[in-house]
Amino acid sequence: MGEFVRLEVSDGVGTIRIDRPKMNPLNRQVQVEIREAAREATERDDVKAVVVYGGERVFAAGADIKEMVDMSYADMVKASADLQDCFSAISRIPKPTVAAVTGYALGGGCEVALSADLRFAADNATFGLPEVLLGVIPGGGGTQRLARLIGPSKAKDLVFTGRFVPAAEALEIGLVDRVFPADEVYAEAVKWAQQFSGAASFAIRAAKTAIDKGGEVDIETGLEIERQQFASLFATEDRTIGMESFIENGPGKAKFVGR
């Protein structure tokens, strides 16, 4: 457990909790601790799905600019690689992930949310990638993940202007998946994650790999990725359990073992 980031596990759901008052700025220590929490969530068999959460007031208000202001190009070559790896550690978790966003998710905070599979936003949430207003661009995956999520034109509008996006507009353009009252968003994210507590873990992992990796290549290569992932599941106990249960009892009644 880190000083500012911890993994809390309950009923199959792991919450990666960012807690660096007051605005959860993502300094280098926080980045390291996010990577460690993501690695732990990946490795723990009792974690079936993950919620990324910044608390009731704010998700994360971006990178720690005070830490960056005196950095040189040579300094940033190394630091930017570490920054991207922090967010990629979340996207590489081979389990369902959802960001529960309250308050501000700006800059690096928005990039953390983009690294999850889904984004649930409080009705008071505000998103943005305002790096151009500081004379730079998003450096933690924002230009790439945002464009893949909402399309190049909408991504360019947000990145070029650096403007803030309220929850309602974020839902309209596809930046978030669902909007809830602020006092309900975390519970709703946990509720979504809990549905995977008894799921066929390797099937979920294969589906995530097929979708994520397939989206990076042409359709024929994507189909081959899907075929390989599909075939590999015939080596799991859960595939046998699931198919035998279907034949005997119909769909949705299998008791999977995660192997």
Would you please indicate which residues are annotated as catalytic (active-site) residues? 63, 108, 111, 131
Selection from 69, 45, 52 nearest residue 186 by Cα: 52
Name the strand (E) or helix (H) holding 106.
strand 104-106
Determine the 3-state secondary structure of 22 from DSSP.
coil
Rounded Cα–Cα distance for residues 26 and 61 (Å): 8
Hunting for tokens 């450096």 — which residue is that? 139
Q: Which of 111, 114, 91 is nearest to 211 (CA)?
A: 91
Cβ(41)–Cβ(17) below 8 Å:
no
In angstroms and rounded to an integer, the radius of gyration of the C-alpha atoms of the chain is 19
Task: Quote the longest CA-to-CA distance of the chain.
Answer: 66
